[in-house]
């Protein structure tokens, strides 16, 4: 470890910038948030911020990526838990849905930052999808090991779960579902139960 404190400072400074940016966006919206204001919120100049982030867009991206990591951490808890995979998958999907719903309701401006990522950063979305699919696959592999399900291709089955529940996890769909007052929890539960019923019965996928 050549410089542990430098790395630590870097991390905490990044976190401070992100927190200052979050506060600005929350109060004034994405459109009216500029880098100088973020810097003022930290009592520094905007030049300093550009030593830690390449651009304003990078700061906003980082806020969304941070939220995605939090979700991933939350989802991972269902991987590391014991129990029937039907319960764990259902818990994971409902937790992801609830988290998004909560963020949309309590922090709409910050939540809205997802739009840029969905439109302009497909690789970030793809990476999130890969991470989530991996977590799902671990649960399914667990179920197969315990003889709870009969799945020949765990990867393909995980892809099926990921695709089938996307509508309950994708930020745009969650926002629309909340606005429409849909019974998303019930709908998501039904989808997960159906998928699990198929896995218990056994399926052959490509």
Residue 7 sits in the site that holds DNA (CB under 7 A): no
Rounded CA separation 4/192 (Å): 45
Among 11, 12, 48, 163, binds DNA (CB under 7 A): 48
Among DNA, a second copy, none, partner that 18 touches (CB below 5 to 8 angstroms by kind): none
User: Which residue number, 57 or 172, has a Cβ lying nearer to a second copy?
Assistant: 172
Distance of CA 158 to CAs 143, 151, 161, 199, Å? Answer: 12, 10, 5, 11
User: Which residue number, 74 or 159, has a Cβ lying nearer to a second copy?
Assistant: 159
User: Which residue number, 44 or 133, has a Cβ lying nearer to DNA?
Assistant: 44
Distance of CA 202 to CAs 88, 147, 153, 192, 196, Å? Answer: 19, 11, 11, 15, 10
Angle CA 60–54–127, to nearest 5? 55
- Quick check: helix, strand or coil at residue 203? strand
CB of 178 to a second copy, least distance (A): 11
Among a second copy, DNA, none, partner that 54 touches (CB below 5 to 8 angstroms by kind): DNA
30: which 2 tokens? Answer: 């994405």
CB of 26 to DNA, least distance (A): 16
Residue 15 sits in the site that holds DNA (CB under 7 A): no
93: which 2 tokens? Answer: 């999907």
Contact window for DNA (CB under 7 A) among 41-49, 121-129, 136-144, 155-163: 41-49
- Quick check: helix, strand or coil at residue 176? helix
Rounded CA separation 91/98 (Å): 10
Contact window for DNA (CB under 7 A) among 46-54, 74-82, 93-101, 113-121: 46-54
Residue 140 sits in the site that holds a second copy (CB under 8 A): no
Residue 84: phi and psi, rounded to 5, are -60, 140
Which residue, chain included where needed, has tokens 């996890």?
169
CB of 36 to DNA, least distance (A): 5
Contact pattern from residue 167 through residue 186 relative to a second copy, giving x for each residue in contact according to CB under 8 A and a dash for the rest: xx-x-xx--x--xx-----x
Residues that bind a second copy (CB under 8 A): 122, 125-126, 156-157, 159-160, 163-168, 170, 172-173, 176, 179-180, 186-191, 193-203, 205-206
């Amino acid at each position: 470890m050549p410089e542990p404190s430098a790395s630590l400072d870097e991390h905490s400074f990044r976190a401070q910038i992100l927190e200052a940016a979050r506060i600005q966006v929350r109060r004034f919206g994405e459109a009216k948030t500029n880098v100088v204001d973020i810097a003022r919120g930290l009592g520094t100049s905007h030049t300093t911020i550009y030593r830690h982030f390449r651009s304003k867009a990078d700061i906003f991206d980082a806020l969304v990526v941070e939220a995605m990591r939090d979700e991933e951490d939350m989802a991972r808890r269902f991987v590391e838990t014991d129990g029937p995979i039907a319960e764990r998958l259902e818990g994971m999907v409902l937790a992801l849905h609830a988290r998004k719903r909560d963020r949309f309701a309590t922090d709409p401006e910050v939540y809205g930052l997802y739009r840029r990522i969905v439109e302009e950063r497909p690789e970030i979305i793809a990476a999130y999808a890969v991470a989530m699919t991996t977590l799902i696959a671990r649960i399914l592999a667990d179920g197969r090991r315990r003889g709870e399900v009969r799945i020949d291709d765990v990867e393909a089955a995980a892809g099926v779960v990921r695709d089938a529940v996307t509508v309950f996890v994708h930020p745009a769909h969650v926002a629309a579902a909340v606005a429409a007052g849909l019974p998303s929890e019930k709908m998501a539960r039904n989808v997960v139960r159906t998928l699990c019923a198929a896995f218990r019965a056994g399926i052959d996928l490509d």
